[in-house]
Amino acid sequence: MTTGWWQHDGNRSACVQPGAHRSARCGTGGRRGPHTARAYTGPNVIIVRFGGGVRRSETIVGKKSYAPYMLNVLARRGTLIPNMTIAQLDGVDTSHAEGTLNILTGRYRGYSKVGSQGLAPLLEPGAPTLFEYVRKAFDIPVHQALLVNGEDRPQEEYLTYGGHAHYGVSYRSEVIGLFRYKLHKFRRILEENTASEAELTEAAKQLKELKAQDYRGTAGDSSPVMERFWDTWRAQYGDTGLKNPRGDRLLTELAVKAIRELKPRLMMINYQDPDYVHWGNASHYTRAIGIIDQGLQRLVDTVDLDPAYRGRTVFVVVPDCGRDANGLMSVPFQHHFNTRSSHEIFGLFFGPGIAQGKVLDKPVDQTSVATTIGAIMGFKASGAEGRALSEILT
């Protein structure tokens, strides 16, 4: 059997590597020591969550697609999986945090509800996430395992690690998004102590409110690398929040800045704006798909121009969930009614080691994404249910 770079044994965490002594902290979720992981030499992986909730008909169906760059340019660079689905199982909701966790853990229902913020559930994964697997297997600092989040979904800030005893918070991802930026900004304003009394009082109030939303307590300990990242963002866009791009365009800007300055090895970008269709206007949905398509182009152009990423980066594009296709509903395009099309999504993989110009036209589960990323990066997502898609690997 020939062995490719994706096939080396990433299953052995350092705790069981020959020659590595067993640390008392191995497997406890405690802070790992420097002996515990190998340097990572595999490809960078960028997961683009084509959220929040898109149907195949507006994305991968030729004449109707609002994502022409993805469909006509990117699909030729890799393998398109038009028949990816979210399984019809009891208790599987086709929604945003749920689908994101299917992707990140490779399991359906691999989470528990720990509360809610407004109407949105707060979910905690019970199985390890991809960030935890890769950071346990390899020596990758937290700022190189990144989750790029939308500004109005603080409940998704915390999809960064699961409750699994052998993984957990020591292997979590870093998060970038406006929530984190605002925390940084108000801390800085208070440290600088040069604003007016009223502004300082307001900054203290805002900071307290933001901290109250941080129910997992991971937003408090920012590293010098992240402080620098946010300082330069603040220098560029200022304190008003009026100059920086908004919505999914903001996520693209943050991801491009991260590629240039943080050099992530695994990054997930949680696009979300197609979900504004909940309020009933179909053009919000189709326009948002086009903005994600433009974001993809910007990300791919950035990668293709960067020597650290060019030819060394695998993209994985996958929606969190589909949407209903019943035109008779009073508010069309919902995704909570367990209809067939809300389970129908797609996948696109491209980059080194991925078959080019291929269509894998058979049913594939959304939970296969995690296992396949494990095969690409060289670790075993041992808690995942889905299979590794060996057909798409060259």
Residues at the interface with Zn ion (CB under 5 A): 275
What's the token pair of residue 63? Answer: 């004449």
| Minimum CB distance to Zn ion smaller for 131 or for 285 | 285
Q: From the CB of 153, what's the least distance to Zn ion, in Å?
A: 10
Please report how close the Cβ of residue 285 comes to Zn ion at its closest, in angstroms: 11
Taking the least distance from each CB to Zn ion, the nearer of 48 and 189 is: 48
Q: How far is the CB of 51 from Zn ion (least distance, A)?
A: 9
Q: Token pair of 256, please?
A: 């491009």
Rounded alpha-carbon distances, angstroms, from residue 177 to 144, 166, 238, 326: 15, 28, 15, 34
Nearest-approach distance from CB 92 to Zn ion, in angstroms:
15
What residue has token string 């993984």?
167
Whether the CB-CB separation of 302 and 256 falls below 8 Å is answered with yes
What does each C-alpha distance from 87 to 266, 361, 366, 372 come to in angstroms? 26, 17, 8, 17
By C-beta, is 275 or 365 nearer to Zn ion? 275
Comparison of 97 and 219: residue with beta carbon closer to Zn ion: 97
- Whether a cis peptide bond, with omega within 30° of 0, leads into 52 is yes
Return the residue nearest Zn ion (CB atom). Answer: 275
Closer to Zn ion by Cβ: residue 49 or 265: 49
- The residue (of 258 and 292) whose beta carbon lies closer to Zn ion is 292
Which one, of 320, 253, 306, 254, lies nearest residue 48 by Cα? 320
Residue 154: how many CB atoms within 10 A of its CB?
21
CA distance linking residue 290 with residue 300, whole number of Å: 15
CB of 96 to Zn ion, least distance (A): 6
Q: How far is the CB of 179 from Zn ion (least distance, A)?
A: 19
Residue type, 104: L
Query: Cβ neighbours of residue 302 under 8 Å, at least 6 residues apart?
Result: 256, 259, 260, 309
Structure tokens at 330: 């009073």
β pairing state of 174-176 and 78-85: unpaired
Residue whose CB is less far from Zn ion, 48 or 258: 48
The answer to whether 323 and 309 are in contact (CB under 8 A) is: no
Q: How far apart are CA 93 and CA 76, in angstroms?
A: 32
Cβ 335 to Zn ion shortest distance, Å = 6
Nearer to Zn ion, 11 or 57 (CB): 57
- Of residues 141, 170, 142, the one with CA closest to residue 28: 170
Taking the complex as a whole, the smallest distance from the CB of residue 238 to Zn ion amounts, in Å, to 32
